[in-house]
Amino acid sequence: MTTRLARRPLVTAIGGAVSLTLAGMALQAQAATEISLGHTLSSTSHYAVGAQAFKETLEELSDGAFTVTEHTSGSLGGEREMIEGLQIGTVDIVITSTGPLGNFVPETYVLDLPFLFEDYDQARCVLDGELGDELLTKMSDHDLVGLAWSENGFRHMTNSRREIASPADADGLRVRTMENEVHQEAFRQMGARPTPMAFPELFTALQQGTVDGQENPITVIVATNFWEVQDYLSLTGHVYSPAAVLGSPILLDGLSDEEREWFHEAARASAEATRQEVSRLEEEGVALLEENGMTVKTDIDIGPFQDAVEPAYEIFTAEHGSEMLERIQEKAASC
């Protein structure tokens, strides 16, 4: 039988081993770096699907050295605020549309021109190619890191006043737009009254009748239950809305090359997962919206809309030049 005195070295040894293990575990837990990822949409949205893929990929590649916390539904503010947050380091990763991005990276405004792309294949082909990479690289000139091109979808018009089948039907409607000068100009040309507004304010503005309508992809209309505040949906497909997975240089510049590559890989996985969800909702979303009481106008003749917004191209090229636009149109035609 070991006496208390005899037991002391043993107890000390066991005690020491336990504290070492605890210290080791604490060190490991301590070493995990928490990454904040923000977006404006719900936890069931196509952005949330992308956020989950980002989280799983980064945590796996880094073997738990990085853990990702998702902030949804504008809990970190609208997209403009979150992009500012990336520049000052208050948020690490953001999934955002290009809506307010042009205010920070004017080179991306070209992507917001209406009817630039005919379909998803064309848009994805251009963004996944050299031109897409070039625009992502431009972000670093503006205190942002462009990690990958994700997707929001082709945007359509909704409103609570009347069915829209032609630009004349949009005449005088107060339409919420993103904080984007190219979009505002397009709706002005259509005869509507564009009202720029951050996304987190939109549902209430529609509910209270501050605006009559808005425009978003099926993905967002479904994720935000817009049928509760909008009666009519017209499948105008008037603009392809890319999304970008952006990073904060304050975080990413401090990482090793290997770690930075983990973030790029996680962003690519995120974009792919979101695109698959967009494709699924393009198939299933309209039926769901009709089931929830929306009147959906499907067979829209886009010709009159294209004619109506054509001046937006002249205004754009007068301010931003036509070089990148022509390169995109040439590439799109070859896709």
- Contacts with ligand EAX by CB under 6 A lie at 40-41, 79, 97, 99, 152, 178, 199, 216, 220, 241, 243
- Alpha carbons within 13 angstroms on the beta-carbon side of residue 166 total 4
CB nearer to ligand EAX: pick between 48 and 62: 48
Q: How far is the CB of 223 from ligand EAX (least distance, A)?
A: 9
* No. of helices (H) and no. of strands (E), the chain: 12, 9
Query: How do 145-159 and 232-247 pair as beta strands?
Result: antiparallel
Residue holding tokens 């089931």?
Answer: 291
Reference 150, options 256, 278, 6, 309; nearest CA is: 278
CB nearer to ligand EAX: pick between 66 and 93: 93
Q: Which residue's C-beta sits nearest to ligand EAX?
A: 97
Computed on alpha carbons and rounded to an integer, the radius of gyration of the chain in Å comes to 24
Q: How far is the CB of 80 from ligand EAX (least distance, A)?
A: 10
Which burial class, exposed, middle or buried, applies to 107 when counting CB atoms under 10 A from its CB (0-12, 13-18, 19+)? middle
Which burial class, exposed, middle or buried, applies to 235 when counting CB atoms under 10 A from its CB (0-12, 13-18, 19+)? middle
CB nearer to ligand EAX: pick between 109 and 199: 199
Q: How far is the CB of 220 from ligand EAX (least distance, A)?
A: 5
Q: How far is the CB of 215 from ligand EAX (least distance, A)?
A: 8
CB nearer to ligand EAX: pick between 57 and 241: 241
Q: How far is the CB of 241 from ligand EAX (least distance, A)?
A: 6
Q: How far is the CB of 58 from ligand EAX (least distance, A)?
A: 21
Rounded-to-integer distance, Cα 17 and Cα 25, Å? 12
Report helix, strand or coil for 37.
strand
Q: Are 41 and 220 in contact (CB under 8 A)?
A: yes
Buried-exposed string 188-225: b where 16+ CB fall within 10 A, e elsewhere: bbbebbbbebbbbebbebbeeeebbbbbbbbbbbbbbe
Q: Are 81 and 94 in contact (CB under 8 A)?
A: no
CB nearer to ligand EAX: pick between 59 and 185: 185
DSSP label at residue 305: H
CB nearer to ligand EAX: pick between 2 and 207: 207
Buried-exposed string 303-328: b where 16+ CB fall within 10 A, e elsewhere: eebeebbeebbeebbeebeeebbeeb
Q: How far is the CB of 291 from ligand EAX (least distance, A)?
A: 22
CB nearer to ligand EAX: pick between 59 and 309: 309
CB nearer to ligand EAX: pick between 50 and 247: 50
Q: Are 35 and 270 in contact (CB under 8 A)?
A: no
CB nearer to ligand EAX: pick between 37 and 66: 37
Q: How far is the CB of 198 from ligand EAX (least distance, A)?
A: 7
Q: Are 100 and 179 in contact (CB under 8 A)?
A: yes
Q: How far is the CB of 137 from ligand EAX (least distance, A)?
A: 22
